[in-house]
Structure 1
């Protein structure tokens, strides 16, 4: 497995092109299975999670044509319901998103319970309940979701117990093929959900309210061939904004959209970081003193859990203390012991971490445990004295396109080591 070697102390300066959003791309690849007409997706990020999801739809008989690293056409005309075996889903949890489209189109399917990062249980029960509300019969047999709706799905009122992004996407996709109208209440409001709705609408679906807590879908969609461009990745943009801040540098984040990351910008500005719109995206400057800021992760439009680890790395360099509360995923503080190995002063109690800034970080051997924890360690290593070796960086390659290359172009001393 590859490792990263980072020598800290370099100020970042330059431009970073923000890739397409991984978390928007994955459900849209799954959505291609709804239709017998081809779907072309552009601005796909060149990361391993995209390769894995394309492999899943291909395993169901879809033809996948890669035009370049950032675009692909998925023709699911020859696809089948079949079974999604564990070997194809074990690498990431997002593969459960094929459940709704396969069930809605073919009337029956079997999908192995997915694997992925060890950041909490993230059960599929909300997905299952949403599909059952549409009339599906679902059982879990030996680690496999067995779903049937031989008479077809029927539109219904779905009230989600929490605003789950994945469950909202599953319900929305399945509802496009249900008979009658579906209402999703307490829906997730994330930009990725709205982008999926835009993709489905381009495919022929009739959807209103995406981006709000109430979404309406008229079923019996007459699907058509179409093309859709993925939105920029707000989490990648936030990560590089923190990279500029933690190194005292300045970065232009090409394609980044301020409206998608308003809560992040607000928190960073409170910490002493300057952010303003540029001609091609956003400009972030960290040339001032950093101040500790308390945060609590929340569903959109609150501070995203996917930036919690990165923000914790930043707070190790801030004056004073910062309280960080994680409310979305259990076990999402697995990066704390590794930050402590670098010298961070962090006290952890249940779902809250107290970060006392100002302690100098020093390079060490550290281990990545999940995608966001991996990049958190990269950020800390950028300011740590001496050399840091980050092991198991395959997690990074799941969600960050050429992270080491992009950072090196901006002045970081970072090298990928091949074992």
Structure 2
């Protein structure tokens, strides 16, 4: 069966919604459970397709995993396999984050090159280089990255780019290495901080999380913990843009608004009223949005995962916008689908020039990745008629209960299953 969404345009979204734990954090936390024998419990986990995928990866390594609604319970044995199942790993990109824990715990890791969203090349060279500086030997062999080390030793590692994935794998490898590791030009995303907080609770010695220099002093062993996953800032940002897109009024809970500071500042520039609270925010858009420019950058810059939603808003804003994508070279694949809906958008290298129109027109469109799919749904909310969004399995990987939440806010969206 394949599902698609039928999105009826014209609704003004109003109400409150609470976000679950972050997709970009929970999968890395599940991988970190490999570092300690015993039972790890994660709370506030999103019920998205990628969580069962990661559970399958961990089961293939010898863990027992129970998925109980918002809780994930992982029983990690004393002996685990170092060979991640190729079929499970190829389902999604975040599976590569088992590389660091396996290298640290087993001194060997064999992880198939991962799958995931088609948003551009995401090589593992920085992951390999970081592990090699810690004393591992790495190679690509038979479609897998192989890492091997008799022992890992702390080292100075400087990333060419603040890669989230490379930061995570170097962190999880270094916590059990001998000596001290200093990781420069590290990623600063809230999900990295969340991983550091869980590792610290497990007994790791880490300082500098949230800055571009993280220092890790290796310890002999870690212990399992209970941990609550940080709120999903990308889902929260999607609801913020849904409010602006439909000239609506949405209050979002379960998120630290500091994690979306620049995003909310951009929405103020388009004309939205924004209020922030300790655990959430409210966005109200009363008039037609004003066009603004965007460029994606690592945190605390504007997140690449919210670029499709920003572009959707630009298509109906008053004036011209230029959107610059600095992270993934293929992230503009969905722009052709936006033009099917009547958007005036022209790609020029890693820029898109968007001239706002007053109304979009419904049409069948296809999701190319998680965030592109969500952006197309937002566009469909402002189109005339009914927009059919296909390949929504992508959206299911990042947005729990997306249709139900949209309808609770006043939208009319229907999921249809066909053979």
What TM-score bracket applies, with the shorter chain setting the length? over 0.9
- Deviation readout 1:246-278 (Å, 9 max, x if unpaired): 101101101122111101011111111111024
- Residue number in structure 2 paired with 1:106: 106
2:195 and 2:152 map into 1 onto residues whose CA distance is: 20
Contact persistence 2:295–2:324 (CA under 8 A): yes
CA shift, 1:360, in A, is 2.0
Deviations 1:164-193 (A, max 9, x none): 011001111100110111110000010000
User: Is 1:15–2:16 an aligned residue pair?
Assistant: yes
Q: CA-to-partner distance for each residue in 1:16-55, whole Å, 9 max, x for gaps?
A: 1111101011111110011113211101110011111111
Q: Report whether the alignment pairs 1:401 with 2:418.
A: no
Equivalent residues of 2:27, 2:51 under 8 A apart: yes
Contact 2:7 2:412 in 1 (8 A): yes
**Cα distance in 2 between the residues matched to 1:65 and 1:387:** 39
User: Which residue of 2 is the match for residue 131 of structure 1?
Assistant: 131
| Structure 2 SS opposite 1:210 | coil
CA distance in 2, matches of 1:272, 1:233: 24
Counterpart contact for 1:81–1:103, Cα < 8 Å: no
| Mapped partners of 2:220, 2:394: distance in 1 | 37
Secondary structure in 2 matching 1:262 = helix
User: Corresponding residue for 1:84?
Assistant: 84
- Which residue of 1 is the match for residue 152 of structure 2? 153
1:358, distance to aligned residue in structure 2 (A): 2.1
Alpha-carbon shift at residue 222 of structure 1 (Å): 3.0
> What is the TM-score when the length of structure 1 is the normalising length?
0.98
For residue 389 of structure 2, give the secondary structure of its aligned residue in structure 1.
Answer: strand
Q: Which runs of 5+ in 2 are unaligned?
A: none
Alpha-carbon distance between aligned partners in 1 of 2:368 and 2:349, rounded to the nearest angstrom: 18
Partner residue, 1:4 = 5
Cα deviation for residue 295 of structure 1 reads: 1.0
Match of 1:366 in 2: 365
Distance 1:366 1:42 in 2: 35
Asked if structure 2 preserves the Cα contact closer than 8 Å seen for 1:343 and 1:359, the reply is no
1:252-308 Cα offsets, whole Å, 9 max, x none, are 101122111101011111111111024762111111331000111000000000000
Q: Give the Cα–Cα distance (whole angstroms) in 2 for the partners of residues 279 and 120 of structure 1.
A: 36
Q: Give the distance between the partners of 1:288 and 1:19, measured in 2 at CA.
A: 30
* Distance in 1, Cα, partners of 2:267 & 2:65: 40
Shift of residue 65 of structure 1? 2.3
Partner of 2:31: 30
How many residue pairs match? The answer is 417
**What is the aligned partner in structure 2 of residue 272 from structure 1?**
271
2:194 counterpart residue number: 195
Note the C-alpha offset of 1:226: 1.2
For residues 119-163 of structure 1, the C-alpha deviation after alignment (integer angstroms, 9 at most, x for no partner) is 0011111111111110001111121111111x2111111111100
Map 1:185-264 onto structure 2 (within 5 A): 185-264=184-263
Aligned to 1:289: 288
Counterparts of 1:85 and 1:37, CA distance in 2: 22
- Report the Cα distance in structure 1 between the residues aligned to 2:221 and 2:158, rounded to whole angstroms: 26
The answer to whether the 8 A contact 2:33-2:224 is kept is: no
Q: In the TM superposition, what is the alpha-carbon distance from 1:78 to its structure 2 partner? A: 4.3
- 1:84 aligns to what SS in structure 2? coil
* Aligned counterparts of 1:30 and 1:259: Cα–Cα separation in 2: 26
SS in 1 for 2:354: strand
Aligned residue number for residue 380 of structure 1: 379
Give, in whole Å, the separation in 1 of the partners of 2:159 and 2:226: 30
Q: What residue number does 1:64 align with? A: 65
Q: Which moved more, 1:76-85 or 1:331-340?
A: 76-85
Q: Any conservation in 1 of the 2:57–2:85 contact (CA below 8 Å)?
A: no
| TM-score, normalised with respect to structure 2 | 0.98
Unpaired segments ≥5 residues, structure 1: none
Aligned counterpart, 1:141: 141
Q: State how far apart, in whole Å, the 1-side matches of 2:20 and 2:253 are.
A: 9
| Residues 305-384 of structure 1: pairs in structure 2 closer than 5 A | 305-384=304-383
Superposition RMSD on alpha carbons, in Å?
1.1
Q: Distance in 1 between matches of 2:315 and 2:273?
A: 18
SS at match of 2:72: strand
Query: 8 Å contact 1:5–1:417 — kept in the other structure?
Result: yes
What is the CA distance between 1:86 and its match in structure 2?
2.0
